[in-house]
Amino acid sequence: MKSADVAGPERGRLRPWKPVVALLVLAPWAAECSWGGFAVTDFPVVILFLAPLYGGAAVLVREVARRTGGGWPAMVLLAGAFGIVQAALVDQSLFNPGFLDDTEFADQAQAAAATLVPVFGFSADQAVTFIGNHVLLSICAPIMLVESALRPAERRRPWLRRRGLSASVCCTCSAV
């Protein structure tokens, strides 16, 4: 068996699916529920529909960073790329000045208008807020929490084999 076919050396008691499942559940909760975006009763629906998007992306970001040896700088950069894709393409909040109009954040419209970048058609304030929240809440915080529950040696190892990594890519891309 090639070394690239395994997620790392013998792991002892670590079950690779446990941290993956934890990240799949924690990422959508952190992204959408932790700040009050959804009620606790809506959490099963959030998991069903948003775990592939947020959880899949968090698993993918972590696996790519750990496999390439990029560590946290790579995770933050990849999370930033996810944040841009999410805010610009998936929910299109970045280019929709009225995105927050019918929410409790409607009062932020004035700050968004004040930082409008006309050439690109988005608010610098909303870009920092939306993309930054995806970097911190959707990806990095869940990874950090799950990894902190592992032994130090297990934190830097990939969790998935090639098949699991491929499934993660397919899951995340289909959610986008």
Q: pLDDT, tens digit, for every residue of 142-157?
A: 999 999 999 998 898 9
Model confidence over 54-64: pLDDT tens digits? 999 999 999 99
- What is the model's pLDDT at position 5? 46
Does 122 reside within a domain? yes
Does 6 reside within a domain? no
DSSP annotation of 8: S
Q: Give buried/exposed letters for 67-104 (b at 16+ CB in 10 A, else e).
A: beeeeeebbbebbbebbbebbbeeeebbeebebbeeee
Does 5 reside within a domain? no
What is the SS3 assignment for 117? Answer: strand
Does 4 reside within a domain? no
Domain of 81, in residue numbers: 12-175
Pick the residue with more confidence: 79 or 86? 79
Q: Kindly state the percentage of the chain with pLDDT values over 90.
A: 38
Contact 157, 3 (CB under 8 A): no
Does 40 reside within a domain? yes
The structural domain count of the chain equals: 1
On average, the pLDDT of the chain sits at 84
DSSP annotation of 50: H
Does 2 reside within a domain? no
Does 3 reside within a domain? no
- Quick one: which of 127, 122, 133 has its CA closest to 54? 133
Does 149 reside within a domain? yes
Q: Tell me how far apart the terminal alpha carbons of the chain are, to the nearest angstrom.
A: 34
Mean pLDDT of all residues in 42-65: 92
d(CA 59, CA 153): 18
Pick the residue with more confidence: 88 or 11? 88
Residue 120 pLDDT more than 80?
yes
Q: What is the pTM (predicted TM-score) of this model? A: 0.81
d(CA 25, CA 50): 9
